[in-house]
Chains A and B, each alone.
Chain A
Amino acid sequence: MMNFTNESNIGRSGLERINSGCKQLGNALLVTALALLLSILALPALHGQVPAPSQTDPVALTGGTIYTLTDGVIEDGTILFEDGKITAVGTGIDLPSGTKQVDVSGKYIYPGLIDSYSQMGLYEIGAVDMTLDINEQARINPNVRPEVAFNPESRHIGIARSGGVLITVTSPGGGLISGQSSAMMLDGWTWEEMLLKPGTGLIVNWPSPGDEDNYEDELRELRDAFADARAYRKAFRAVKEGEIRHLDYDARWNAMIPVLDGDVPVVVNANLLRQIQDAITWSEEEDVKLVILGGRDAPYVSNHLASKDIPVIVTTVLASPTRAWESYDSRYNLPARLHESGIRFAIAGAASAPYANRLPYEAGAAAAYGLDPAEALRAITLSPAEILGFSDRAGSLEVGKDATLLITDGNPMEYSTQIEQAYIEGRKIDMSDMHRQFYEKYREKVRQAETRR
């Protein structure tokens, strides 16, 4: 039985591990031996992970505890996937002939984690401008798409996967309208193969209300942009209907048609009370689908958010309050307060690509401070997929969805848990990463030094 919801159990299980000193030593030896073996096999090449081939045979993971997210927890269950899609989840499943069976007894199976706000693929080294493709020129860039700049060789991809993150919603930044985000699967030879869903949201950076006049000006700019886009759509439709012959192309307003049609939500980066309220009112006037990103002050206007059913993507739970008088844990318990108010929400990190592997800990902190751990898990799996419109493919372990999942020895939010294997669209992926490769390479150096002595 998974003991994540039971604090005293988890304490004990942790201690069992600590107290079994002999086993520890054994483990250490094993690790050393393994490292040795690896060092002989893999050295000296340091490289990115090799993308896995498409799934050919049906695969069944058997005997594990399956966290379906939509249909509870299945003990000693089986999950079967074919051609990258889940075809069965449960117990007593008939396996088609040719099924490759993997015994995962004692292990846990979770949907791949989703980082719902990320710069993965666009960010390599912070202080080296040429490795960054995040902020485009000018302030209105609704036509900008991140997938075409997504670098499949980024080191941070493998590291995120080791943390259980298999999907990132990669998002451009900067300006007033930054561009559109896209959901990316973290395995593949090219960005094309990695693209899960383009256009998951139009990123808008809500202006800062610090200077009232400036705030008014920037809001006017935003409203004007939407008005122009709406006029463009009208003309565009008129061309389609044959009412007019021609419309000069405008990449920006053309890109906003699905937003105005309500097919793509507007993801508004808003943290302050005023920004959140003003954005809700604005979205109603514009009749667009709104998602609040950030949402630091969201609990102060929770009724407003709940009454309009506006979802929130909480960025950084592992953070301190911005105001000295706010309680030390007011960011940790923010998701719990949103949940109590009946607000739909996802938990993301601070977007920084190298730290996508911290995502489960962001959710874990929310669980430490009042959020039901099951809800915390949902906030990094199913909820982001629902909020950003790709829950037909990801976020839970259901028949028909992608076989994008994790095999672990515990809850992925718990620090002591190891993510042992991951599958993306049924492809068994290379679990190495640059962190491990550096470890393995320089563990060999230590070994050689010891040998010399």
Chain B
Amino acid sequence: MKKLTLFVWLMVILPVAACGQTEPVQGLHESAPDVHAFTNATIVVAPGEVLENATLVIRGGVIENAGTNTEPPADARIWDMEGKTLYPGFIDAHSDAGMKDPRVELDRGDISWNPQLRAQLKANSEYDPEDDGSEQLRTQGFTTALSVPPLGIFRGQAAVMSLGNGSVSDRVIRPEIAQSVSLRRSPEFGFSYPTSPIGAIAFIRQTLHDADWYERAHSVYQSNPEGLKRPESNAALNALEEAVRGRQPVLFEVISEEEMMRSLRIADEFSITPWLRGSGHEYRILDVLSDRNLPLIVPLNFPDKPEVDSPEDALNQNLSILRHWYLAPENPARLAAAGIAFSLTADGLDNPSRFLLNLRKAVKLGLDPVTALAALTVNPAGMLGISDTHGTLERGKAANIIVADGDLFETDAKILDVWVDGDRFRVHEPLTNDPRGEWRMVSADRTVEATLVVKGQPERLEGTITINNQEVDLSSASVRDQARRFRADFPGEQLDINGLVRITASISGDELYGWAEASGMDRMEWYGERTAPAEADEREHPDITPREVQLTDIRPAMEYGREAPPEQPDHILVRNATIWTMGPDGILEDADLLVTRGEVVEVGHNVQAPAGTVEIDAHGKHVTPGLVDAHLHSGVDGVNEIGGAIVPEVRMGDVLNINNIWMYRQLAGGLTTAHVMHGSANPIGGQNQHLKMRWGHLSNDLKIEGAPRTVKFALGENVKRVGTDRYPETRMGTQQIMADHFRAARDYQTRWNEWEQYGQGIPPRKDLRMEALVDILEGDILIQAHSYRQDEILMLTRLAEEFDMQIKAFHHGVEAYKVAPELAEHGAGAVVWSDWSSFKIEAYDATLYNARLLSEAGVLTSLHSDNSQIASRMNWEAAKMVRAGMDKEDALALVTINTAKLLGIDDQVGSLEPGKDADFVIWNGDPLSTLTKAEQTWVDGRKYFDLEDDRELRNAVEQERSQLIQIILED
């Protein structure tokens, strides 16, 4: 008992206690020979460089030699590698090795105020060797991994670690080589700022500015501290210096192609060096990636089969899901075909032991095996700066070797051993004494003769025994290789023996020395002799059928996605339409609209068409400007940053996502422009984003260039009810916190002005929140304020006036009509719902006549949807105002020119006037009639929606869906 305890204690403690080369030896010195020669091997020295029948020599954990004429040194242990293939050990360029149980709370020392900022953590210092995952990685051929801290937004510094034996100290290859960053908060740290993707990106920006400031502030202070206030000490900001100066890469771990592009935008903005750990969706942005030579790490996290078991289940599967299931395994091949270099990682797999399976699938689907090997060896070695020591089996490199019994990439060959720094790790042990084959058995007294056949897999043997021409299946059979012991049972009945017969034998090469026992029969000694050898295990090619269906690239990668953006004809002439110009020309009957390269050139009668004009006969039809929605929340990853009451530093433009079916539907309803807004959780919320419905483009290309910045304010119930411990809880507090922050912003401005004037001492810190508030104060950011009740609306106009600001528009403004004269006097506009009402107490005094009364009082008024569905029928929203007594043209202005004016983009959109963007809709009738629908929607002189094309697209979508569902069912 005591012995056992000691043994267990040693097992657990020993690897931790043995600490590098500085530790004195306790007891006797162990010096096992560390010279090995692998002979007769197929050696893949480097990707594409293969030696047949060659010898590899390692000494002291390092490769001494590799070649076809290499003689094994005299002191080497010889390993006959006949039939085996040696590969360089794989390098996992993004791993959680040693990071499985990370420290959550950092509660000592000069930590950051924000728990998501943990940049000072070092993977090598935090590395937990217990169950660190290295064994599982080795089974897949990995001998080296980049260990990446997993928690927070700034997560800490990654280290290249050996996946071999020994203490952490022995295993650190390169510490502190990259700062790990996530664009998402870790929930482990509670629900505090930043709570959202927008907040996380704003926080990354602020932190990078802070790290820059921190270095400069400290350097000023250190050179002459006298008379200066000591700048804060902050281990995390201190640790970011290398990254922010571009000397240490920043490793972004992303979950989507949108996040990948967001990471690149941050890297460009701050001139930092990005490394990217992808999500498996890279095939969707090959054009973006092929322009840049980026260190890219790609997972093989192929999605599970979508649920299509029943036809009803299949009904609910969207094309984006089906497509990604089909295309994810093609991701590596598509990247390679586009000439994009990458490394592969086992990270992102639920079960890392699927890595090789998925790798082979990727190879089967077109990934060149040489490229695949490079992605696991020389590419990550180069990226991680360890090419001198890792990545190939060349002389002088670390002895990191995979021993496989065949081609790992194109067959289901097994990894037998991996060697890490010269230490052997058994992965899959082949049988030394294989019981499989055919044996002639004879009992010791020679009364019984039998034929034994053993086959199957070593872990699942099967076979037969034949006595007196009577063949019986073995009911069980097994082998213990180290003991060289074979056992089997078979039922005796058919052989006229009672009960079960159990045999056992020691395997000695081609002989069996056996013994048997059966009921009603004497125990019996027997002897066996091999009459036929075991059949050699065939290395089979993985069972993946080559693909017949080639899916075209579409953007977005979902229903109704486009193969390319629509053409922009040089000239378009829409003829003979009723044109609602929404400009001074009013409504023109039987008129023409001429567009040249995306711009309106002329609206009028008998317009002459230049040569090569695309003409559209719109007789009997109506043409309006593209509709504009002043308030929308679709097409973004997250809407609210709840972690603070004042968050104007967050930007909706950071989190656009084109995988958004609403955009297509909105186009189908004639919407061409939207103002995508932050939520209403904060008195001063985030900055909004103007965008056009450029379906088929990348998210960044949706943004309207030259549009002014706008910010969301919010009043009333929503800002009060966020949490129980967040200021404000009343409308009174709402006013106070807004005023307070504007005063603080003035103070901030003063500090900067003084520093810029005198330039002495420690530079002020760049505070993006304060910068945004200053820009709001200066009128550079337009205020769009969510509001319901008249008291709060009036409060904000007065508050704005106190600070010489103007509110551009009150949104929702359910009671705006009650203070219409005050709004007119202040110069604020109103952006209201047509008829939303009574969903909460502050919406109870709603009236259908809100927009009308506001307009009559001289308030510039617009409608908005605040709803992805309603945004697809804004013409009908405007039409409701006709029932409320508004003139038709005034009603349409509520969703076109007025909206554009309130959003500050009326120089570009909102009316059909020369010089404006060619955003227009062709309707089959009066756009304000209940019977009318949009037939064509054009943005920038490109046709993004056409009712006839839509019918074809529907069929194509249906066809592709059913095709993919069939493939899933057959798979």
Chain A residues close to B by CB (< 8 Å)? 4, 7-8, 10-11, 14-15, 17-19, 24, 28, 31, 124-128, 155-156, 159, 209, 272-274, 297, 300, 318-320, 323-325, 327-329, 353-355, 357-358, 360-361, 364-365, 367-369, 373, 413-418, 434-436, 438-439, 442-443, 445-446, 449-450
Residues of B near A434 (CB, < 8 A) are 847
Q: Are A367 and B558 in touch, CB under 8 angstroms?
A: no
Distance between Cα atoms of A134 and B130 in the complex (Å):
58
Q: Are A373 and B620 in touch, CB under 8 angstroms?
A: no
Q: Are B930 and A368 in touch, CB under 8 angstroms?
A: yes
Q: Are A10 and B929 in touch, CB under 8 angstroms?
A: yes
The 8 closest A-B pairs by CB, nearest first: A364-B930, A415-B879, A449-B821, A127-B840, A439-B849, A126-B839, A435-B847, A354-B838
Q: What residue in chain A is nearest B838 (Cβ atoms)?
A: A354
Of B839, B845, B883, B958, which one neighbours A416 at CB under 8 angstroms?
B883
Of A128, A324, A449, which one neighbours B559 at CB under 8 angstroms?
A324
Task: Please classify the interface of chain A as helix (H, G, I), strand (E, B), loop, or mixed, using the class held by over half of its residues.
Answer: helix
Of B665, B817, B841, B957, which one neighbours A320 at CB under 8 angstroms?
B665
Of A11, A357, A358, A369, which one neighbours B933 at CB under 8 angstroms?
A369
Residues of A near B868 (CB, < 8 A) are 320
Residues of B near A320 (CB, < 8 A) are 662, 665, 868-869, 872
Of A14, A24, A319, A325, which one neighbours B929 at CB under 8 angstroms?
A14
Asked if B589 lies at the interface with its beta carbon under 8 angstroms from chain A, I say: yes
Instruction: Other than A10-B929, A318-B869, give 16 A-B pairs with Cβ distance below 8 A.
Output: A7-B924, A11-B926, A18-B887, A18-B889, A273-B315, A325-B559, A328-B668, A353-B838, A354-B838, A361-B876, A368-B930, A415-B883, A416-B883, A435-B848, A438-B849, A443-B856
Q: List 10 A-B contacts (CB under 8 A).
A: A11-B620, A15-B578, A18-B587, A155-B844, A272-B312, A320-B665, A365-B930, A367-B930, A416-B879, A442-B853
Of residues 239 through 270 on chain B, the ones whose CB sits less than 8 Å from some CB of chain A are none
Residues of B near A357 (CB, < 8 A) are 835, 848
Asked if B909 lies at the interface with its beta carbon under 8 angstroms from chain A, I say: no
Q: Are A354 and B837 in touch, CB under 8 angstroms?
A: yes
Q: Are B318 and A445 in touch, CB under 8 angstroms?
A: no
Distance between Cα atoms of A209 and B307 in the complex (Å):
14
Q: Are A10 and B838 in touch, CB under 8 angstroms?
A: no
Q: Are B928 and A415 in touch, CB under 8 angstroms?
A: yes
Q: Are A11 and B929 in touch, CB under 8 angstroms?
A: yes
Distance between Cα atoms of A15 and B927 in the complex (Å):
11
Asked if B610 lies at the interface with its beta carbon under 8 angstroms from chain A, I say: no
A125, A272, A318, A367 interface centre (most CB from chain B within 10 Å): A125
Q: Are B876 and A31 in touch, CB under 8 angstroms?
A: no
Q: Are A156 and B838 in touch, CB under 8 angstroms?
A: yes
Of A324, A418, A439, which one neighbours B853 at CB under 8 angstroms?
A439
Q: Are A367 and B853 in touch, CB under 8 angstroms?
A: no
Of residues 126 through 160 on chain B, the ones whose CB sits less than 8 Å from some CB of chain A are none
Distance between Cα atoms of A329 and B669 in the complex (Å):
10
Q: Are A438 and B883 in touch, CB under 8 angstroms?
A: no
Q: Tell me the minimal C-beta distance from A383 to chain B in angstroms.
A: 18
Q: Are A125 and B315 in touch, CB under 8 angstroms?
A: no
Q: Tell me the minimal C-beta distance from B944 to chain A in angstroms.
A: 13
Asked if B585 lies at the interface with its beta carbon under 8 angstroms from chain A, I say: no
A209, A272, A320, A323 interface centre (most CB from chain B within 10 Å): A320
Q: Are A126 and B838 in touch, CB under 8 angstroms?
A: yes
Chain B residues close to A by CB (< 8 Å)? 312, 315-316, 318-320, 558-559, 578, 587, 589, 620, 622, 661-662, 664-665, 668-669, 717, 817-818, 820-821, 835, 837-841, 843-849, 852-853, 856-857, 868-869, 872-873, 876, 879-880, 882-883, 885, 887-889, 924-926, 928-933, 950, 954, 957-958, 961
Q: Tell me the minimal C-beta distance from B659 to chain A in angstroms.
A: 9
Q: What residue in chain A is nearest B929 (Cβ atoms)?
A: A10
B717, B846, B931, B958 interface centre (most CB from chain A within 10 Å): B931
Distance between Cα atoms of A367 and B664 in the complex (Å):
22
Q: What residue in chain A is nearest B880 (Cβ atoms)?
A: A415
Q: Tell me the minimal C-beta distance from A446 to chain B in angstroms.
A: 4
A28, A272, A328, A434 interface centre (most CB from chain B within 10 Å): A328
Distance between Cα atoms of A42 and B270 in the complex (Å):
65
Residues of A near B847 (CB, < 8 A) are 434-436, 438-439
Of A14, A353, A364, which one neighbours B888 at CB under 8 angstroms?
A14
Distance between Cα atoms of A316 and B821 in the complex (Å):
37
Distance between Cα atoms of A17 and B929 in the complex (Å):
13
Q: Tell me the minimal C-beta distance from B291 to chain A in angstroms.
A: 30
Q: Tell me the minimal C-beta distance from B504 to chain A in angstroms.
A: 48
Q: Are A11 and B622 in touch, CB under 8 angstroms?
A: yes
Given A325-B958, A445-B820, A413:B924 Cβ within 8 A = no
Residues of B near A373 (CB, < 8 A) are 931
Residues of B near A17 (CB, < 8 A) are 888
Q: Tell me the minimal C-beta distance from A368 to chain B in angstroms.
A: 5
Q: Are A439 and B817 in touch, CB under 8 angstroms?
A: yes
Residues of A near B844 (CB, < 8 A) are 125, 155
Distance between Cα atoms of A367 and B932 in the complex (Å):
9
Q: What residue in chain B is nearest A154 (Cβ atoms)?
A: B838
Q: Are A24 and B873 in touch, CB under 8 angstroms?
A: no
Q: Tell me the minimal C-beta distance from B956 to chain A in angstroms.
A: 11
Residues of B near A300 (CB, < 8 A) are 315
Distance between Cα atoms of A17 and B320 in the complex (Å):
47
Q: Tell me the minimal C-beta distance from B873 to chain A in angstroms.
A: 7
Q: Are B872 and A443 in touch, CB under 8 angstroms?
A: no
Given A323-B318, A324-B320, A445-B821, A415:B838 Cβ within 8 A = no
Distance between Cα atoms of A445 and B668 in the complex (Å):
41
Residues of B near A155 (CB, < 8 A) are 838, 844
Q: What residue in chain B is nearest A330 (Cβ atoms)?
A: B954
Q: What residue in chain A is nearest B837 (Cβ atoms)?
A: A354
Q: What residue in chain B is nearest A322 (Cβ atoms)?
A: B316
Distance between Cα atoms of A33 and B483 in the complex (Å):
109
Residues of B near A355 (CB, < 8 A) are 835, 837
Q: Tell me the minimal C-beta distance from B416 to chain A in angstroms.
A: 45
Q: Tell me the minimal C-beta distance from A415 to chain B in angstroms.
A: 4
Residues of B near A28 (CB, < 8 A) are 887
Distance between Cα atoms of A325 and B954 in the complex (Å):
8
Q: Tell me the minimal C-beta distance from A194 to chain B in angstroms.
A: 20
Of B852, B876, B926, which one neighbours A15 at CB under 8 angstroms?
B926
Given A18-B587, A415-B928, A125:B835 Cβ within 8 A = no
Of A209, A272, A442, which one neighbours B818 at CB under 8 angstroms?
A442
Q: Tell me the minimal C-beta distance from B948 to chain A in angstroms.
A: 13
Q: Tell me the minimal C-beta distance from A213 to chain B in angstroms.
A: 15
Given A127-B841, A435-B847, A368:B853 Cβ within 8 A = no
Residues of B near A435 (CB, < 8 A) are 846-849
Residues of A near B315 (CB, < 8 A) are 273, 297, 300, 323
Q: Are A125 and B838 in touch, CB under 8 angstroms?
A: yes
Given A368-B931, A438-B817, A442-B818, A128:B869 Cβ within 8 A = no
Q: Are A128 and B841 in touch, CB under 8 angstroms?
A: yes
Distance between Cα atoms of A367 and B930 in the complex (Å):
8
Q: Are A7 and B835 in touch, CB under 8 angstroms?
A: no
Q: Are A368 and B954 in touch, CB under 8 angstroms?
A: no
Residues of A near B669 (CB, < 8 A) are 328
Residues of B near A365 (CB, < 8 A) are 873, 876, 930
Given A328-B668, A439-B847, A446:B857 Cβ within 8 A = yes
A4, A14, A355, A436 interface centre (most CB from chain B within 10 Å): A14
Of B558, B817, B876, B925, which one neighbours A10 at CB under 8 angstroms?
B925
Residues of B near A10 (CB, < 8 A) are 925-926, 929, 931
Q: What residue in chain A is nearest B311 (Cβ atoms)?
A: A273
Distance between Cα atoms of A62 and B661 in the complex (Å):
51
Q: What residue in chain A is nearest B790 (Cβ atoms)?
A: A442
Q: What residue in chain A is nearest B668 (Cβ atoms)?
A: A328
Q: Tell me the minimal C-beta distance from B838 to chain A in angstroms.
A: 4
Distance between Cα atoms of A439 and B881 in the complex (Å):
13
Residues of A near B664 (CB, < 8 A) are 328
Q: What residue in chain B is nearest A300 (Cβ atoms)?
A: B315
Q: Are B950 and A328 in touch, CB under 8 angstroms?
A: yes
Distance between Cα atoms of A247 and B398 in the complex (Å):
90
